[in-house]
Amino acid sequence: MAEPIICFGQQPCGFFPKRFLYAKIATARRLQKEIGGAIVFFFHDSDHDCRETITLLRERHTGQDNALNFQFANKIQKQFSPLYAKRVLPEWQMKLARQLPNYVAPELVEHFKAVEASTVAEFCRDLYARMGLLDGIRVERSSDPEFRKRAIPVDDYFVDVPWEGEIVRARYRDGKLLLHKGADRYIEVPAQEFDATQISPTRNTRLRWMQSVIGCTHYVAGAGERQYLNETDAPGVTFVQREDIADSNHAYIGS
């Protein structure tokens, strides 16, 4: 029999990862001890929602929760660029590093300061790695052109295209490239040619798109994922509920 492939997926979810991501990693490692095999992290850095990287930290002295996030170069990048194309501002990193001792241990402050990444997605991935969370785990990025070329075609997708000097993630619908401004408001991006290296899936097509490349045997899913995943898109895969964890939306800082 083929070696098990244990997979979990997640967007970049804070410069320190949310605790629910840590729970997925812990569940995957536990399962690996039981059945062997490899662990793959499907890092969905094609997502564009800037809210995904909000990092909820608790002030060490007052106990007050504060929501911190990246600063973005401009409004277009903040609203519409995929996370792998949102740029990290060096002044943001320096300023936040001075605040972090109020929230986390000195070791994590040093990890944060040591990251050298030009984009939001790279910053998150590199900080997770510095924290030791990705040791022994293969990371597959949804933004990787080679991954995209290997994936099956899907009928519901986004396209990464240049617009107003930035790369934006436009929904392809009825032959149009659309940027969602909220409610029923859209901006139509001028039509242009594109290929598979620019395409990423929607929530409804993500599982079968991902699975066509990774071919996992086990998938660790959160409670929210189980509500929308169409598990018939991945026949033969065993779906495993991630372990429960307290304060799941807070940042994981080692405890």
User: pLDDT tens, 115-151?
Assistant: 999 999 999 999 999 999 999 999 999 999 999 999 9
Query: For residue 213, what pLDDT is reported?
Result: 98
Render pLDDT for 59-73 as a digit per residue (tens, 0 to 9).
999 999 999 999 999
Question: Residue 9 and residue 30: Cα distance in Å, rounded?
Answer: 16
The answer on pLDDT for 210 being more than 80 is yes
Domain boundaries, the chain: 5-241
Question: Residue 196 and residue 233: Cα distance in Å, rounded?
Answer: 20
Query: For residue 37, what pLDDT is reported?
Result: 98
**What's the whole-model pTM score?**
0.96
Q: How confident is the model at residue 1 (pLDDT cuts 50, 70, 90)?
A: low
Give the CA dihedral 187, 194, 74, 68, nearest 10 degrees: 100
Q: Which of 71, 86, 154 is nearest to 120 (CA)?
A: 86
Question: Residue 87 and residue 97: Cα distance in Å, rounded?
Answer: 17
Query: For residue 230, what pLDDT is reported?
Result: 87
Query: For residue 182, what pLDDT is reported?
Result: 86
